[in-house]
Amino acid sequence: MTRIKTLLTAAITSLTVAACATSVSGSNGLYATPTGGAPVTPNPTPYSDALVCMAAHARAQGQAAPRIAVGRIADYTGQIAPEGGTRVTQGAALMAMSAFAKSGARLVERFDTSVAELELRYTNNQLIEDASEDQGFRQIYAGSIPGSDYYLVGGITELNANIRSNGQDAFAGDSVDSDPSALFSRRIYVMNVGLDLRLIDSRTLEVVDVVSYQKQIIGRELSAGVFAFFGDAVVDVSAGGRSLEPVQLAVRSVIERAVLEISSQMYGVAPDQICAFDDPLGGSTITGGVQPFTTYASQSEAPYVQARTSVNRGHERRDADIRSQLRGTYR
């Protein structure tokens, strides 16, 4: 009889839980209320504040912001996720646009001009109305579209899934089977993502800057459990958690760090001198290098340019800024 009561109780509980979802929509037109409700928040990286600070400094100094166009920043890793789709975001170019906007650059659209080209075609056929024009339709004027000073292209070139991993397992229990026993498990693994970008003079197609950065990403897994007999009862309790630093946010961080580097050359300042931000490599690094004979780097004797051509800069054993750190992440 006791077993029947237990089964009935479990069945009623299951039906109660199942009643939360129904096949009949309510008066609001919904079958169920969606889970969650977190508010929309900004999506910053550790370098977002420095980019905004760079823009504020340029405005305060009256420096003219360059016109920047962002081209294709493709995923060249070619890696596919097990569940389908690519493992790396296909929106790196959009992230670069957002980063340049934070740095105060004037953006001109070159990435998706499909709507502009359609509007131009309609305008050319006198199909678009414009009340401000004497003829009543929009006119096409030569030189009405501003050009870019530089454009950014490149790609995501690295995604190394398991640079290093380690773990620990511990089990403790008495030799008597009925005595309590415990299990503890811990796992850590590291991967990285890298990209290569180049800045090109729009008038001459000369590559004036090359930036190559990577960021390591860490994942953690922790679990623990207890198993014991208490009379006729068996108790098996376990708990755990797993976390992985967002891969796509890491891509955004690498892009914003690269744009900060490029913006500092455009404005002629070292970011660590005017903006406080936490970066192990300091203000400038040897990332590929400013071409010293271009207009872009005309102040080639400035320390922020020299830092990028120093063979010691960014070297783990010869650079004090990163001597105790590992390529962008703390040990």
Structure tokens at 140: 């096409």
Whole-number Å distance between alpha carbons of 209 and 231: 73
Give SS3 for 198: strand
DSSP output for 222-234: EEEEEEEEETTEE
pLDDT in tens, 205-263: 998 888 899 999 999 999 999 888 777 778 888 899 989 889 999 999 999 999 998 88
Tell me the residue ranges of DSSP E strands in 50-118.
Answer: 67-75, 106-107
Whole-number Å distance between alpha carbons of 258 and 244: 23
The angle at the Cα of 188, spanning 187 to 190, to the nearest 5 degrees, equals: 150
Answer yes or no: are the C-beta atoms of 210 and 197 closer than 8 Å.
yes
Whole-number Å distance between alpha carbons of 215 and 253: 8
List 220's β-bridge partners, or say none: 188, 243
Nearest residue to 257 via CA among 1, 8, 50, 37? 50
Give SS3 for 112: coil
The runs of H, that is alpha helices, within 19-47 are: none
Question: What are the 10-residue block averages of pLDDT along the chain, 331 residues in total?
Answer: 58 59 78 86 90 90 91 94 90 96 94 95 92 87 93 96 89 74 90 94 90 91 86 82 91 94 84 72 54 53 49 57 47 36
Answer yes or no: are the C-beta atoms of 213 and 195 closer than 8 Å.
yes
Domains of the chain are 43-108+146-330 (3.40.50.10610)
Q: Is the dihedral angle over the CA atoms 56, 153, 295, 269 positive or is it negative?
A: positive
Answer yes or no: are the C-beta atoms of 140 and 120 closer than 8 Å.
yes
pLDDT of residue 288: 54
pLDDT of residue 323: 52
pLDDT of residue 306: 47
Mark residue 117 as left, alpha or beta (left: phi above 0; alpha: psi -120 to 50; beta: remaining): alpha
Answer yes or no: are the C-beta atoms of 138 and 129 closer than 8 Å.
yes
Q: Which amino acid is at 152?
A: L
pTM for the full model?
Answer: 0.78
Whole-number Å distance between alpha carbons of 6 and 200: 74
pLDDT in tens, 96-117: 999 999 999 999 999 999 999 9
The structure tokens 């010293």 sit at: 292
